[in-house]
Amino acid sequence: MLLDRAFDWIPVKTGESSDAVYRRSDGLAYAKIAPAHRSVDLAGERDRLAWLNGLGAACPEVVDWRETEDGACLVMTAIPGVPAVNLPGTDLLTAWPSIIRQIRILHDLPVDQCPFDRSLTFMIKRAADVVARDAVNPEFLSDEDQETPASELLARVERELPTRFDQEAVDKVVCHGDACMPNIMIDPIGFQCTGLIDLGRLGTADRYADLALLVANAGESWVSREQGAQAFAILFDTLGIDKPDKERLAFYLRLDPLTWG
C-alpha cells in the first residue's frame, strides 16, 4: 500500500498533473500519489524538497517516500494557512510583500549549488515535445491564443530566444517554477506568507519566469486597476528592479502554457 494505514487520509484533489493529493487526518502532512508514468516527476519533487531543507525557504519537508510498479507516494509536512488564491484582493495585497520576500529567498540561493535545471534550453525542449504530441492544454492559453495552432505559438516564442538567452545568462536564479497563487500559503489571520508548495518545477532559470506567473496569476484577484498597479510597483520595488521589462514578462507567459502536457 502506498499510504501508511496507521493514519486516515482525506482526499483533497486530483491536480492538473493527474497526481492524487490527500491530507492526513491530523492535518500535519499531505501525500501525493502519482501513477507509474509520473513516478519520475514525483521523485523530482522529493529531491527538490530534500535539497531545499535547511536553506531558509519555507516549504514542506519530506516525511516518507514509497514506490511500487503501480506508482509512487510522497508524504510531506503540511504548510499552515490557506492558498493565496483563496484570499480576496484586499487581503492578498496585505500579504503581497511577504509573498515577495519568500520568493526572493529562493532567488537569493546560490545558483551554482542548485542541481536542478529549469533553463530556457530545458524548457524549450519540453515545449517542443508537448507541441509535437499535440498535448497543449488550451485552457492554459490566453484568450487571444486559443485559436492559434500550437506550432505557431512555439515558433513565436523561438523567435525571441536569442534575446532571452542573453538575459537569462546575467539574471539566472533559483526559481520556484510554478509561482502561482495556489502554490503560496498564507496565514488567514495575520496575512503573512507561511511558505511555498508544489515545488516540482524548481530549478535555475531567469527570475522573470517566476515574476511573470506571479504578476499574471495574482492579477486575477485584484478588484481594480489601481490595486493591480500598486501590487506591480510593490513587487519590483521590493526586488530592487527599477525598470520592469514587460516584454520579458510577456515572453515567459507565452512560453509557460506550452510546457504543460
Among candidate residues 96, 110, 101, 105, the one with its CA nearest the CA of residue 57 = 105
Active-site residue (options: 145, 178, 206, 256): 178
Phi first, then psi: give them for residue 169, nearest 5 degrees: -60, -30
Neighbouring residues of 184: CB distance < 8 A, sequence distance ≥ 6: 83, 84, 99, 102, 193, 196, 197
Instruction: Assign 3-state DSSP to the chain and report helix, strand, coil percentages, each to 5.
Output: 45, 20, 35
CA dihedral 145, 149, 151, 153 (to 10 degrees): -10
Nearest-10 crossing angle of helices 208-218, 246-255: 80
Phi first, then psi: give them for residue 194, nearest 5 degrees: -100, -15
Cell numbers 527599477: residue: 242
* Residue 4: active-site member: no
Is residue 101 within 8 A of residue 56, CB to CB? The reply is no
Catalytic residues: 178
